[in-house]
Amino acid sequence: MSDLTHIDSNGNAIMVDVSEKDRTERTASAMGSVYMLPKTLALINSKDIKKGDVLSIAQLAGIMAAKQTPDLIPLCHPLNLTSVKLELATDMQRNAIDIISTCKLTGQTGVEMEALTAVSIAALTVYDMCKAVDRGMRIGDIRLTHKTGGKSGEFKSV
């Protein structure tokens, strides 16, 4: 038998049945970075990218993406998120934009995928808005950093 929760005993993909799980407050945070040329970061900071305010638009894209996660990832449950926060910060020393998302709800399943989706789409939005000046940007280090709630309790990355 597989330890994978989205595969049944016959090897078929399934959406996990959460109907018997307790409703608890659940949060998840994720982070990632977009690495770029120094001149690209300077253009973002001075708001001189022709497509607009990169950080604000990427923030909105990430929030919208968190709410659309079950439409993007086939076996995710549709959730009633109560909060989605997304922070984008420039790091001039690393030539990077760091993205942190935190999603929250009270429900029967966690919000890890929503937090990871928010970071991923925000990063892709940064790339899309800046690709005309820097096609060599790299998106990386996307990971779950913290999660609370549910039977498995708290997780903190090191």
> Can you give the pLDDT at residue 1?
42
Interatomic CA distance for residues 24 and 149, integer angstroms:
6
Interatomic CA distance for residues 30 and 26, integer angstroms:
14
| Residue carrying structure tokens 């690709």 | 131
DSSP conformation letters of 13-31: B-----TTSPPEEEEEEEE
**b/e map 117-140, b = 16+ CB within 10 Å:** bbbbbbbbbbbebbeebbeebebe
pLDDT tens for 85-119 read: 999 999 999 999 999 999 999 999 989 999 999 99
Residue 2 pLDDT level (bands cut at 50, 70, 90): low
Please identify every residue annotated as catalytic: 128
pLDDT tens for 35-77 read: 999 999 999 999 999 999 999 999 999 999 999 999 999 989 9
